[in-house]
Structure 1
């Protein structure tokens, strides 16, 4: 299975850090955020990674290179203008192949073990959901008997930015900017999305306060 890290975001809420540094290269505990993902993917047995980029993307390529220092093979999907989550993944499909692939948002920090996500999926997508953070208490989706649904009962959880997607999820799409969520909701309506509830450490690193939270976690992490 291949993996894709979404790294095209501009990180406007992390300015001035992101004025001259792409968000995935912002450091926490002295380590670029994207490097935590690469280490975790390697530990989970992944060998091929695709990274999309837009804002200051060449810096990402210059820093990570072909991935050999991480024991990985990295390929890039440059966008120029951001294509949003759905459009970015769709543009990268030729690099990802015809089988399900892991997708990880580049602007999260987590200690999630990606190993179990290499298991075959049943349907078009498998989402990792987390408890609702303070900045998103309403959540995104419900998890009912292993199936993810776009409803409020019994309780909504937050999409973590970690998923396994089948390329068929993008059938009928065309090149350009579009969001992933509508595709997921369409698949949910057809019973084609499964999920799991991750209860480990997870931070959406969207602000300076949440970046400081990650700093504190990695400072004490064994």
Structure 2
């Protein structure tokens, strides 16, 4: 009878038991662990449990095209969010809106760095928008991809001007010239749409993404941006009073 696949909880238990692992540098499809004491795998309903005492092969999920596309796209998306903060900050008036904008930049900058590092680990080209927001891609061991024809910024990279939630060049221009309450409300409007677009991208990734780290990053972004959407709605309601 073939061995049943190891459940996730058992894999975690193996790590906790100090199991040693052997793996190659070429992203193997499976890694072998040897627990330092017997490990019991619960049986299916009606079946007896089994005890593992020797080396155990654990499947390793490989990043999919969906994972790579999601991370590359989200770098572009984050870069525009940071661009929006840069454009708006001189015109913003409400202190709480200013604080929110600063938090968005402070959170999404490091997230771009983490995503660029992940792409470098996969030997994938990193979108040039990562460098635009200050990420030293070369120091991460990565290589920048080519910028699309005509230069372009986050809103038009790689033909992704229709990416969910992305502001148009005209909207960015308005944001950069707005002042006072107009700037506060326009920033909240555009950033809310931007965050909602990011949540759509996260949902789409969930249908085809397998990489654990990519999914963790997506989950963290979902929690963070959902909370910020609620906060922006509160600020907008208060300003409109």
* TM, length-normalised to structure 2: 0.28
Higher relative contact order (CA 8 A, sep 6+): 1
More helix by share: 2
Structure of higher CA gyration radius: 2
* TM, length-normalised to structure 1: 0.30
